[in-house]
Structure 1
Amino acid sequence: MPTPYGSRGGMAFGAEELRVLRRALALALHPTPASADDVQDCLRLVDSLDEATRESARLRAFLLADLGRYRAALPGTAAGYLTLLEEALGAGYRPHPDDLAALRALRGNPTAAALLRHCRRTHLLALPGGRAAADDPAKKKDPAQKPATPAPAPAPSRPAPSPRPARPVPTPGEVFPRRKPTPPPPNEHLAAG
């Protein structure tokens, strides 16, 4: 059965699981009838992956709950909190405003200062707009920081003139010449007035 590999969310596979996975991929790439044993092996692997995924989610929930308890007991639990936060960040956790406030309060600790820099760098890598911008705690004012000077806006550039075509572009009149109007059909019966 694949097992969660640490708290980073990766999976460790055994030799038998890798054999089944290779066979399943080969069947997907080159469809041939699968034997009953292959189907059963694939189903067992799927069940194992599902269980490992559930276990990984349980471990993550436990880690985040533990992180919240340690954060609530700061500053007395600084060492444990920083270790848990570092582990959670490595597993893809996005720090909450409470985490950033706790790191700012602990910034005299070199580990806390390094984690705070890491969290701010992570937010700087996000694209502007979207959910990340709305939830970005780094945008909140820190009294110890000076406001950033906005960069000057780049001068608007004119689009480069398009090169002249080798042949002139025909006008609609040249492409679709006017048709001569057709005369109305002669009316044989004239109405007498």
Structure 2
Amino acid sequence: MKTLKVVVEKWNPRWKEEFLKIVDSLGDEIILNSITIEHVGSTSVEGLSAKPIIDLDIVIRNDKFTLMKQLLEERGYKYEGNLGIQGREAFSYNNKNDLMTHHLYVCPQDSEELLRHITFRDYLRGHPAFILEYSQVKEKAAALYPDDIDKYMEYKSGCIEKGYKECGLL
């Protein structure tokens, strides 16, 4: 089994452009059948160090999932289920070498997971001191555990919990 390295980079303004490039690659039908497509996760927060992976949530009306699943499959995405997280349906892909590595999720508009993604992202965007603190924790976690994503996640969990408390998610 191949172990992927945990790599955390300083924020890169290119990430905004890469998000837009991924959205554009989805095509008009997916865009028109979504409420919005949100850039979430650390790459969406200016100044925040991050693993160089774009996270995007396609927000849909609850009755649009079957159609969205079909449209994504036609664009080369494979449905993976919710991967244990309610309110977020994951899709994987192969052979999209022209796009930056990304995690694509479909979320109903009333999803608690979507609310968590947006609330934490928006909190971070408004709190530069916390961006600095969280960046330092992530960079240290990656340095300590470059071959262990679980330990990396565990190391930064206290900082995330602090942020969740500050923005009302806990």
**One fold, TM greater than 0.5?**
no
TM range (shorter): under 0.3
Name the structure where helix makes up a greater proportion of residues. 1
TM-score (norm: length of structure 1): 0.22
Name the structure where strand makes up a greater proportion of residues. 2
Identify which of structures 1 and 2 has the higher relative contact order when contacts are C-alpha pairs closer than 8 Å and 6+ apart.
2
